[in-house]
């Protein structure tokens, strides 16, 4: 077994912390819906990181599948069913199948090109959600559905009115998804993904079917992020087109980078930092977009490894170098 | 019906002309530096707003030229300060950096000029329709299309015949060799970036006279410009030109028959092109893959 004692300890601590959120979050002035939101966006960021951090492929259009999961879940609840889990399955299938189809189309592209194509295809679903008024409610968003209490026969979990109950419902699904991702990454399949990330050509020479693996990784990550999207729709009892827009994709990517791409739990930390900052800044100023943009810029320039991969001496040196360079006039720019 | 189709095709061509200006700038920067400039739309909007601000003092014609130059200078400063640090790094970082810059641009524009649309008035003699029958063709539209045509042919002539332009094209294929031949690649990339931003600023001024000025006007043109580049083929400027005009006309024609789908049709075109010709219509094999 490679799992040593400190690793188990770390895992235990993380899960204890997550399980106890309803107890400690109010102490710091947070409300429980904020904690649920962190979990949902954390799951979205971890799903993207499955592709970005562990396969080394940059998708900048994952909000599309996040949004499809949300619309699928919302529409199923509105039109078809009173079962929350069944609605979630519908959302996950909608987002995941769309991801599988588009993934097959773009799997041969790499780097910047892959990013561009994923952004552009992501926008298709944004426009569909935005324009198909009769089905999706267009710009106003999808309304008219509510998450339904879970019926276990003898016992009913009222996740609609009891927000703590809903939190644990989300946490349970989060745990399932995170566990599945963790197991996948530990499997030979996951090791092959890492090999592709580290050196695609060598992986190909070793006989790993690279395109198939990237397609599988892309598809799996769209399935997971659709689940996050579905949970987001349940959280708000609402879905709106901006969830599918490329700006949302950018936000998910920055959560991943904020937390640290090479770390399994990093994206969850990144999502927590992002959600709390956004909540705080938007209550403080109307110009929070500038602050958000500044976070992107500062992050990229000074802390590219994220919070968990933070190398303080190195970051300090970068800041110093930046200030020094700005001191001298940026001459020689005109040829 | 013919009038309606003609009207929408004209509209499509004009919108296509904007896509072309925007996408050519994006393409220049992408080809030489490997950076997708998300802030391009922000520069475009700024171009429109600066023209709006200085036109009362210097007049429309001077604003048409001055505003893009000012925006290009700003682009140069930002490139020297931040963006050049992203060259050679994982494209993820340049994407995130320019994405953040786009947020800041939009917010600052909104803070200074407000979120509601502002009218940018063009000289009266330009806003007249050319004839009664084709009332939708104003002199301004003709003027706009000719400015775009002049700018685009100027750019292609520059890249074809000037020493600097040849270096930019050579750098697209093999920057290392260009560098080892003694060309200052750092300065070349900065100049190239400013050139791309100049085109965005120009598009901003022209768009301001046609539509109204809004902080999001550039961001709305960003995605179609991506599609234009992908359809035309990454790495080929002629392809970008072709792609921009094609998707403009395609969305114009779709507006006649199915208005709701006019936004989505360009993505369908992209999917078809990627299926049949993965490198795009005129794309070069092996560039930026």
Cα distances from A248 to residues A17, A186, B226, in angstroms, run 27, 29, 18
Q: How far is A44 from chain B (nearest CA, A)?
A: 18
- Which residues are bridge partners to B129 per DSSP? B138
Q: Where are the domains of chain B?
A: 12-217
Share of residues in chain A with pLDDT > 90 (%): 30
CB atoms B289 and A52 under 8 Å: no
- Residue B108, chain A, CB below 8 Å: the answer is yes
For A176-228, the DSSP string reads: HHHHHHHHHHHSHHHHHHHHHHH-HHHHHHTT--HHHHHHHHHHHHHHHHHHH
- Name the residue facing A60 among B95, B103, B190 (closest C-beta): B95
Q: Where are the domains of chain A?
A: 26-244
| Better-predicted residue by pLDDT, A18 or B153 | B153
Could you tell me if B231 and B247 are in contact, meaning their C-beta atoms sit under 8 angstroms apart? yes
Chain B's closest residue to A116, CA to CA, is B226
Q: How many CB atoms lie within 10 A of CB B161?
A: 9
B36-58: average pLDDT: 91
Q: Give the model confidence (pLDDT) of B216-228 as tens digits.
A: 888 888 888 988 9
| pLDDT score, position A325 | 61
Lowest mean pLDDT among A297-311, B15-29, B142-156, B267-281: A297-311
| pLDDT score, position A226 | 95
Q: Give the model confidence (pLDDT) of A54-78 as tens digits.
A: 988 889 889 999 999 999 999 998 8
Share of residues in chain B with pLDDT > 90 (%): 34
B residues 189-218 closer than 8 Å to A (CB): 190-191
Q: For tokens 């994206």, what's the residue?
A: A267
Tokens of A242: 């901006």
Spell out the residues 6+ positions from residue B55 whose beta carbon is closer than 8 angstroms to its own.
B63, B120
Asked if residue A246 has pLDDT above 50, the reply is yes
Helix (H) or strand (E) holding A49: helix A32-52
Asked if residue B52 has pLDDT above 70, the reply is yes
CB atoms B97 and A301 under 8 Å: yes
A residues 115-134 closer than 8 Å to B (CB): 115-117, 119-121, 123-124, 127-128, 130-132
Q: With contacts defined as CB-CB under 8 Å, which chain B residues touch A333?
A: 76, 79-80, 187, 190-191
- Residue A287, chain B, CB below 8 Å: the answer is yes
B137-142: average pLDDT: 80
Mutation pick from B100, B166, B244 vs chain A, by most beta carbons of A within 10 Å, is: B100
| pLDDT score, position B40 | 93
CB atoms B289 and A110 under 8 Å: yes
The separation between CA A42 and the C-alpha centre of its own chain, rounded to angstroms, equals: 6
- Residue A285, chain B, CB below 8 Å: the answer is no
Q: Decide the pairing of beta strands A150-151 and A156-157.
A: antiparallel
Q: With contacts defined as CB-CB under 8 Å, which chain B residues touch A246?
A: 223
Asked if residue A1 has pLDDT above 70, the reply is no
Asked if residue A9 has pLDDT above 50, the reply is yes
For A304-318, the DSSP string reads: TTTTTT--HHHHHHH
How far apart CA B106 and CA B109 sit, in angstroms, is 5
Q: Give the model confidence (pLDDT) of B227-286 as tens digits.
A: 899 898 888 888 899 999 999 888 888 877 887 777 788 888 888 888 888 788 887 765
Could you tell me if A231 and A173 are in contact, meaning their C-beta atoms sit under 8 angstroms apart? yes
Share of residues in chain A with pLDDT > 70 (%): 93
Give the largest Cα separation in chain B, rounded: 60
Residues in chain B: 289
CB atoms A287 and B111 under 8 Å: yes
Burial of A124-157, coded b for 16+ CB within 10 Å and e otherwise, reads bbbbbbbbbeeebbbeebbeebebbbbeeeeeee
Could you tell me if B43 and B201 are in contact, meaning their C-beta atoms sit under 8 angstroms apart? yes
Cα distances from A130 to residues A98, A126, A134, A141, B225, in angstroms, run 17, 6, 10, 8, 20
How far apart CA A231 and CA A159 sit, in angstroms, is 12
| pLDDT score, position A332 | 35
| pLDDT score, position B214 | 87
How would residue A119 be classed by pLDDT, with cut points 50, 70 and 90? Answer: confident
Q: Which of A214, A266, A233 minimizes the C-alpha distance to A102? A: A214
CB atoms B289 and A113 under 8 Å: yes
Residues in chain A: 335
Q: How many CB atoms lie within 10 A of CB A222?
A: 33
Q: Give the model confidence (pLDDT) of A170-215 as tens digits.
A: 999 999 999 999 999 999 999 999 888 888 889 889 888 988 999 9
Asked if residue A136 has pLDDT above 60, the reply is yes
A218-239: average pLDDT: 93
Helix A266-284 with A288-302: angle, nearest 10 deg: 150
| pLDDT score, position A311 | 60
How would residue A97 be classed by pLDDT, with cut points 50, 70 and 90? Answer: very high
Q: Give the model confidence (pLDDT) of A141-168 as tens digits.
A: 888 787 877 777 777 777 777 888 888 8
How far apart CA B26 and CA A156 sit, in angstroms, is 56
SS3 of A62-110: the string is CHHHHHHHHHHHHHHHHHHCCCHHHHHHHHHHHHHHHHHHHHHHHCCCC
- Name the residue facing B275 among A105, A250, A296 (closest C-beta): A105
CB atoms B111 and A296 under 8 Å: no
Q: Give the model confidence (pLDDT) of B69-82 as tens digits.
A: 999 999 999 999 99
Alpha carbons within 13 A on the beta-carbon side of A190: 14
Angle at the Cα of A126 (from A120 to A132), degrees rounded to 5?
135
Chain-wide mean pLDDT for chain B?
A: 86
Cα distances from B198 to residues A127, B20, B71, B80, in angstroms, run 30, 13, 7, 16
| Better-predicted residue by pLDDT, A254 or A146 | A254
Q: How far is B75 from chain A (nearest CA, A)?
A: 11
SS3 of chain B: the string is CHHHHHHHHHHHHHHHHHHHHHHHHHHHHHHHHCCCCCCHHHHHHHHHHHHHHHHHHHCHHHHHHHHHHHHHHHHHHHHHHCHHHHCCCCHHHHHHHHHHHHHHHHHHHHHHHCCCCECCCCCHHHHCECCCCCCCCEHHHHHHHHHHHHHHHHHHHHHHHCHHHHHHHHHHHCHHHHHHCCCCHHHHHHHHHHHHHHHHHHHHHHHHHHCCECCCHHHHHHHHHHHHHHHHCCCCHHHHHHHHHHHHHHHHHHHHHCHHHCCCHHHHHHHHHHHHCCCCCCCCCCCCC
Q: How many CB atoms lie within 10 A of CB A121?
A: 24
- Residue A294, chain B, CB below 8 Å: the answer is yes
- Residue A326, chain B, CB below 8 Å: the answer is yes
| pLDDT score, position A330 | 37
Q: With contacts defined as CB-CB under 8 Å, which chain A residues touch B104?
A: 289-290, 293-294, 297
| pLDDT score, position A261 | 84
- Residue B114, chain A, CB below 8 Å: the answer is no
Q: Give the model confidence (pLDDT) of A19-31 as tens digits.
A: 888 878 877 777 8
CB atoms B96 and A300 under 8 Å: yes
Asked if residue B126 has pLDDT above 80, the reply is no
- Residue A246, chain B, CB below 8 Å: the answer is yes
Q: Give the model confidence (pLDDT) of B161-189 as tens digits.
A: 999 999 998 888 888 888 888 888 889 99
CB atoms A112 and B30 under 8 Å: yes
- Name the residue facing A297 among B101, B223, B275 (closest C-beta): B101
How would residue B136 be classed by pLDDT, with cut points 50, 70 and 90? Answer: low
Could you tell me if A210 and A57 are in contact, meaning their C-beta atoms sit under 8 angstroms apart? no
| pLDDT score, position B258 | 81
Q: How many CB atoms lie within 10 A of CB A201?
A: 9
CB pairs under 8 A between A and B: 145
Spell out the residues 6+ positions from residue A300 whose beta carbon is closer than 8 angstroms to its own.
A257, B86, B93, B96, B97, B100
| pLDDT score, position B275 | 80
CB atoms A115 and B101 under 8 Å: no
- Residue A335, chain B, CB below 8 Å: the answer is yes
| pLDDT score, position B10 | 81
């Amino acid at each position: 077994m490679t799992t040593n004692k400190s690793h188990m300890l770390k895992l235990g601590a993380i899960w204890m912390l997550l399980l106890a959120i309803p107890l400690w979050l109010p102490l710091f002035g947070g409300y429980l819906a904020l904690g649920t939101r962190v979990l949902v966006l954390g799951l979205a960021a971890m799903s993207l990181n499955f592709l970005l951090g562990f396969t080394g492929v940059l998708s900048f259009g994952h909000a599309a599948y996040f949004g499809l999961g949300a619309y699928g879940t919302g529409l199923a609840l509105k039109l078809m069913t009173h079962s929350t889990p069944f609605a979630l399955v519908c959302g996950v299938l909608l987002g995941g199948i769309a991801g599988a189809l588009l993934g097959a189309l773009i799997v041969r592209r790499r780097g910047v090109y892959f990013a561009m194509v994923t952004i552009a295809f992501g926008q298709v679903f944004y426009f569909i959600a935005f324009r198909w008024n009769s089905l999706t409610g267009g710009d106003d968003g999808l309304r008219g559905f509510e998450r339904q209490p879970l019926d276990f026969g003898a016992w009913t979990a009222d996740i609609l009115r009891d927000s703590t109950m809903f939190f644990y419902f989300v946490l349970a699904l989060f745990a399932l998804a995170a566990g599945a991702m963790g197991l996948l990454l530990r499997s030979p399949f996951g090791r092959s993904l890492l090999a592709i990330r580290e050196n695609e050509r060598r992986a190909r020479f070793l006989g790993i079917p690279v395109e198939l693996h990237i397609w599988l990784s892309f598809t799996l990550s769209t399935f997971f992020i659709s689940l996050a999207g579905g949970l987001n729709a349940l959280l708000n009892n609402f879905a709106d087109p901006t969830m599918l827009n490329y700006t949302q994709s950018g936000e998910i990517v920055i959560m991943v980078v904020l937390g640290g791409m090479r770390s399994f739990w990093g994206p969850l930390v990144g999502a927590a930092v992002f959600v709390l900052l956004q909540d705080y800044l938007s209550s403080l100023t109307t110009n929070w977009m500038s602050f958000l943009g500044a976070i992107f810029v500062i992050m990229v320039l000074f802390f590219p490894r994220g919070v968990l991969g933070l190398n303080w001496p190195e970051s300090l040196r970068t800041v110093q170098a930046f200030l020094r360079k700005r001191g001298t006039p940026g001459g020689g720019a005109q040829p | 019906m013919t009038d309606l189709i003609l009207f929408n095709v004209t509209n499509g061509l004009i919108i296509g002309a904007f896509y072309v200006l925007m996408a050519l700038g994006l393409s220049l920067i992408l080809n030489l530096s490997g950076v997708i400039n998300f802030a391009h739309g922000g520069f475009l909007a700024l171009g429109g707003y600066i023209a709006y601000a200085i036109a009362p003092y210097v007049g429309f014609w001077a604003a048409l030229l001055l505003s893009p130059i000012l925006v290009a200078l700003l682009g140069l400063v930002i490139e020297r300060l931040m963006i050049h640090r992203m060259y050679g790094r994982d494209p993820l970082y340049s994407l995130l950096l320019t994405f953040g810059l786009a947020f800041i641009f939009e917010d600052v524009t909104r803070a200074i000029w407000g979120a509601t649309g502002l009218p940018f008035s063009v000289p009266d003699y330009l806003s007249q329709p050319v004839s009664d029958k084709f009332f939708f063709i104003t002199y301004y539209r003709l003027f706009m299309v000719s400015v775009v045509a002049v700018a685009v042919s100027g750019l292609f002539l520059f890249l074809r015949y000037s020493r600097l332009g040849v270096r930019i094209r050579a750098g697209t294929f093999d920057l290392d060799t260009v560098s080892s031949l003694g060309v200052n690649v750092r300065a070349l990339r900065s100049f190239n970036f400013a050139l791309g931003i100049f085109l965005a600023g120009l598009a901003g001024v022209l768009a301001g006279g046609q539509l109204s000025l809004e902080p999001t006007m550039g961001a709305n043109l960003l995605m179609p410009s991506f599609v234009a580049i992908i359809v035309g083929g990454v790495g080929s400027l002629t392809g970008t030109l072709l792609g921009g005009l094609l998707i403009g006309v395609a969305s114009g024609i779709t507006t006649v028959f199915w208005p709701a789908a006019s936004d989505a049709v360009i993505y369908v075109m992209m999917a078809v092109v990627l299926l049949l010709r993965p490198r795009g219509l005129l794309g070069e094999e092996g560039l930026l893959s």
